[in-house]
Amino acid sequence: MRNLHFKDFFWYPDLTSTAGYDAIIQYLNEGKRTCKEVEDFMKARASIEERYAKDLLGLSKKVCGHNEMNTLKRSLDVFKLQTEHVSLSHLQLAQSMREEAKKLEEFREKQKEGRKKIEQQMDALHKQKSSQFKRTMDSKKTYEQKCRDKEEADQNMNRNTNTTNTKLVEKLQSKAQQAKQNAEEADRLYQQHVTTLGKIRDDWLKEHINACEIFEKQSVERINFLRNTVWTHLNQLSQQCVTSDELYEEVRRSLEQCDIREDIEHFVNLRRTGDKPPAAVVYENFYTGQRSPTGPPPSRMPPPVGRRGPLPDPTQSNRDDARHSSALEGDYSVIQY
């Protein structure tokens, strides 16, 4: 497949038309817009990375496992430290993205300046070509009209060649002569405008070809630059993934060193309070004073009568104002009142 070039496929039959040139300019403007869009995209992505890095950095400063101890505490400390390092790597990534976006901006401005002079020259040539073409067409109309006037004057003179009116013949001859001169002058001006238009056309053709070559070269550079910029952007993202994984691997290695039994033993040795449990609570009988570590709970019934003397008669008392309640009564109490 042969290479296609701007200079071979952006012509138009109408000399005053700028359709081919306008199509190229539109393509260049769209390319410039694409550069700006990619630039804005990368700046926005850099801002996202920066916000993420700052949030991650703040997260790495929060308390996490402060009260933990021994190997797990060391692993959690490494976890927080590597999280901080990941945040710093994302911050560096954001800076790298901004640098790439800056390069793209500079490239876009450079192409804009390179196009500016060419476009100004082409715009001036288009105006000059259009103006000269109009003058040429106007002179052509004048020339054709003068030629028709000359033919009419010649025909009038020929029709009256046999007339005896000398004054009429002289008048017709004078008009024919004047018409001839006018036609010759119109012809001269018409040829002059055609020649001038031809020179302008030659200059325009040369500049159009030159502009096509420059614009095609810019387009090739733009496509290549954008392709490389996006490629670099993706390489940065991939490298960030590798960097993050390497930092996370440090945490995984630390977790591999986390010994569960060692942490349990460390806690026991550090916070131990004793190796003997408290003694069992024994039952102490209120009446007998005997202690029994086991056995059923005490009964609320009084001991057998044989073990102690008979209960005092509630109707008799050594104190006139005292009254004793019976154990068989529902409101029995050992308190006297």
CATH number at residue 187: 1.20.1270.60
Asked if 229 contacts 27 with a C-beta cutoff of 8 angstroms, the reply is no
| Pick from 99, 108, 125: nearest CA to 42 | 99
| Any domain includes 106 | yes
pLDDT at residue 151 tops 90: no
CA pair distance 198, 201, nearest whole angstrom: 5
Q: Is the pTM of this model over 0.75?
A: no
178 within a domain of the structure (yes/no): yes
Tell me whether residue 2 is in a domain.
no
pLDDT reported for residue 297? 53
Output the average pLDDT for the chain: 86
Q: Work out the average pLDDT over 300-329.
A: 48
Number of domains in the chain: 1
Q: What pLDDT was estimated at residue 63?
A: 83
Q: What's the pLDDT tens digit per position in 271-302?
A: 899 889 999 988 888 888 666 655 555 555 55
Return d(Cα 118, Cα 204) in angstroms, integer.
12
Share of the chain above pLDDT 70, in %: 84
Q: What is the pLDDT of residue 5?
A: 94
User: How many Cα atoms occupy the beta-carbon half-sphere of 307 within 13 Å?
Assistant: 5
Q: Would you say residue 333 has pLDDT above 60?
A: no
User: For the chain, how many helices (H) and strands (E)?
Assistant: 5, 2
pLDDT band of 128, cuts 50, 70, 90? very high
Answer whether residue 86 is part of any domain.
yes
Q: What is the dihedral of CA 324, 328, 331, 332, to 10 degrees?
A: 50
d(CA 179, CA 147): 8
- 161: confidence class by pLDDT, cuts 50, 70, 90: low
Q: Is residue 53 part of a domain?
A: yes
Does residue 272 fall inside a structural domain?
Answer: no
Domain membership flag for residue 312: no
Q: Are 316 and 324 in contact (CB under 8 A)?
A: no
| Phi/psi at 292 (5° precision) | -135, 125
Mean pLDDT is lowest, of 12-16, 78-82, 153-157, 255-259, for: 153-157
Per mean pLDDT, which range of 82-91, 97-106, 164-173, 175-184 is the poorest?
A: 164-173
Check residue 283 and report its DSSP letter. Answer: E
Inter-residue contact 147 to 173 (CB < 8 Å)? no
Q: At 318, which amino acid appears? A: N
Identify the pLDDT of residue 164. 63
84/64 Cα distance (integer angstroms): 13
What is the number of other CB atoms lying within 10 angstroms of the CB of residue 195? 11
Pairing of strands 283-284, 291-292: antiparallel
> Of the candidates 40, 86, 17, 63, which has an alpha carbon nearest to the alpha carbon of residue 247?
86
For 25-41, the pLDDT digits (tens) are 999 999 999 999 999 99
Q: What is the pLDDT of residues 73-119, one digit of tens each?
A: 899 999 999 999 999 999 999 999 999 999 999 999 999 999 999 99
Q: Which domain holds residue 126?
A: 18-267
Any domain includes 10: no
pLDDT exceeds cutoff 80 at 257: yes
Which pLDDT does position 159 carry in this prediction? 74
C-alpha torsion 140→146→149→151, nearest 10: -80
Q: What is the pLDDT of residue 308?
A: 43
Inform me whether the pLDDT recorded for 145 exceeds 90.
yes
Q: Looking at 121-125, 231-235, 287-291, which range is the least confident one?
A: 287-291
Kindly indicate the confidence band of residue 166, based on its pLDDT and cuts at 50, 70 and 90.
Answer: confident
